[in-house]
Amino acid sequence: MNSKKVLVSLFALSFAFVMVACGDSKPKEETPAAVESSASADPDLAKGEELYLQNCSSCHGEKGAGDGAAAAALNPKPRNYKSPASEWKNGNTAAAVTKTLKEGIKGSPMVAYGHLGDDNIRILAKYVEHLSKN
């Protein structure tokens, strides 16, 4: 096998790993500690944390530092939510995060999450905004 075929095969394998690791939309068992760790009584933030842990933490990390298990295989690296708003492709407001979740970011591993539905995307965006500020 020539070196180009090997590189293409490695790239395809890496991409498949990223898609599986970052795009897991299957419900996972809730752990009471994960939901209770939300710093608020806001039910949207509790639900947002649950959605985030199921769909985003493998790339962005549990606290949004861009250090999830799949982050090492990604280029560009996942967003660190503590980065200044000016470094975010669409901004760090709930509306901007909603746009990113609905459309993804072309040319990056950030895929669209439209399959979650508008209400879950709104809740997830609110939680990501919360992480960026806390």
Rounded Cα–Cα distance for residues 39 and 50 (Å): 13
Residue whose C-alpha is closest to residue 74's, from 114, 24, 17, 25:
17
Q: Which of 20-24, 43-47, 87-91, 121-125 has the lowest mean pLDDT?
A: 20-24
Q: What is the pLDDT of residues 54-63, one digit of tens each?
A: 999 999 999 9
Is residue 32 reached through a cis peptide bond, with omega within 30 degrees of 0 on the bond before it?
no
Torsion, CA 134, CA 115, CA 100, CA 120, rounded to 10 = -30
Question: Which pairs from 13-17 meet CB under 8 Å and 24+ separation?
Answer: 14/73, 17/70, 17/73
